[in-house]
Amino acid sequence: MKQRLFVLLLLGAVVFACSKTETPSNTSEVYSPTPYNVAIPSWVSTFLSPMPTNPSNPLTVEGISLGRKLFYEPMLSDNQTQSCASCHLQTAGFTDTAAFSKGTNGAIGDRNAMQIINLAWSNYLFWDGRRTTLEAQAHDPVTNPIEMRNTWPVVVERLQKDPIYPGLFFKAFGTRTIDSNLVTKAIAQFERTLVSFNSRFDKYYFEGDTNALNAQEKRGLALFFGKADCNHCHSDVLLTDDALRNNGLDTRFTDRGRGKVTGLPTDDGKFKVPTLRNIAETAPYMHDSRFKTLEEVVNHYSDDVKTNSPNLDENMEIIAKGLRLSQQEKSDLVAFMKSLSDTEFLTNPNFKKPE
């Protein structure tokens, strides 16, 4: 009897709540987005500034959820076969396992798809840093002639006609009228939640769990921060200094990199220093995917740096003298890089394709 009364009361409350939210235009929607804070381990704040936010695009539960749906949405591409996630797979650290990603008509690009990890802290997006915000970046793949090959009016029309999307845009942004800026805002919100600080390296180095790394990985760590001087550029908590630099791959550049953006010959051969977080999952390596394995990458830094490469970065000074690592040291360094994988990030259900 008591139970039935409770159910009745509950029903009453629901009916009351619904009738209260009814508006004259006969829609039951209310725009009240829920502010969202990305959970970040507390030790991170000792080494890193708080996550930068975009004042014109604050994170909300509704915005992130919409952005996640859009990130996995094939309607964004011309023939509706490709989403952002086609080239940015969660299990591969949000990059592509192919050397060069295929666009919707099978055309192939000339750069390796990049990781989407901790990019809230990044001010340079793409290998050449040509975009400075995640919102601006997300505009590009949709209209790129060798990626999604679409136009924004077509995307907007499709989403607008969809039975579900207009309601989701209302919940996230207070309007049912969709435009490209709102689409990219939502995607950028989702991308800002893609934070990874939970590798075995983090547990050992920052959280003081001395058993989190084995002896070989500890030797590799010592090399990384010491003799091999890797953290000169792959630095701090993010394992990147978010700068554009030439790490001595070539003497002549088929891809000018940063130089193509600024037009300055002194920027030729400079590319974004990528994070090494989850690096074991993101092969192949470098902007042009020239290395298939981490062993090949280490061979480059140890033995093959082109010391006469124009604009060779000054942080390469120690490495350019010739590291000449032993086989054992090379394996140690590779073992260390494999400890940078964050299984929780790579399998986090909140980042998967929504049901």
Q: Which residues bind ligand HEC (CB under 6 A)?
A: 76, 82, 84, 86-88, 101, 103, 109, 111, 113-114, 116, 119, 122, 125-128, 134, 137-138, 141-142, 147-148, 187, 228-230, 232-234, 245, 247, 249, 271-274, 276, 279, 282, 285-287, 294, 297-298, 301, 313, 315-316, 319, 333
Nearest distance, CB of residue 84 and ligand HEC, angstroms: 3
The b/e string for 3-14 (b: 16+ C-beta within 10 A; e otherwise) is eeeeeeeeeeee
**294 vs 335, beta carbon nearer ligand HEC:** 294
CA distance 46 to 9: 50
User: Nearer Cβ to ligand HEC, position 213 or 249?
Assistant: 249
CB of 5 to ligand HEC, least distance (A): 51
Give yes or no for a contact between 93 and 137, defined as CB atoms under 8 angstroms apart: no
By beta-carbon proximity to ligand HEC, the closer residue of 29 and 231 is 231
Q: Between 62 and 242, whose beta carbon lies closer to ligand HEC?
A: 242
Cα gap 171→179, rounded to integer Å: 15
Smallest separation, CB 143 to ligand HEC (Å): 10
Closest CA to 293 of 249, 347, 338: 338
- Report in angstroms the alpha-carbon separations of 159 from 26, 53, 61, 77, 169: 22, 27, 20, 12, 10
Helix axes 165-173, 180-192, angle to 10 degrees: 70
CB of 130 to ligand HEC, least distance (A): 7
Q: With the C-alpha atoms ordered 159, 160, 162, 163, is the resulting torsion angle positive or negative? A: positive
Tell me whether residue 43 or residue 97 sits nearer to ligand HEC (CB atom): 97
Gap between the Cα atoms of 198 and 207, Å rounded = 10
How many angstroms separate the CA atoms of 182 and 174, rounded?
11
DSSP 135-167: HHHHHHHHH-TTTT---HHHHHHHHHHSSSHHH
Find the shortest distance in angstroms from Cβ 286 to ligand HEC: 4
Q: Which is nearer to ligand HEC, 97 or 348 (CB)?
A: 97
Minimum CB–partner distance for residue 187 and ligand HEC (Å): 5
| The pair of three-digit structure tokens given for residue 152, joined into one six-digit string | 């924004």
Token pair, residue 311, equals 């604009």
140 CB burial (10 A radius; 0-12, 13-18, 19+)? middle
Nearer to ligand HEC, 64 or 76 (CB): 76
Question: Given the complex with ligand HEC, which of 29 and 235 has the nearer CB atom?
Answer: 235
Q: At its nearest, how many Å lie between ligand HEC and the CB of residue 306?
A: 12
CB of 328 to ligand HEC, least distance (A): 15
- What kind and span of H or E run contains 272? strand 271-272
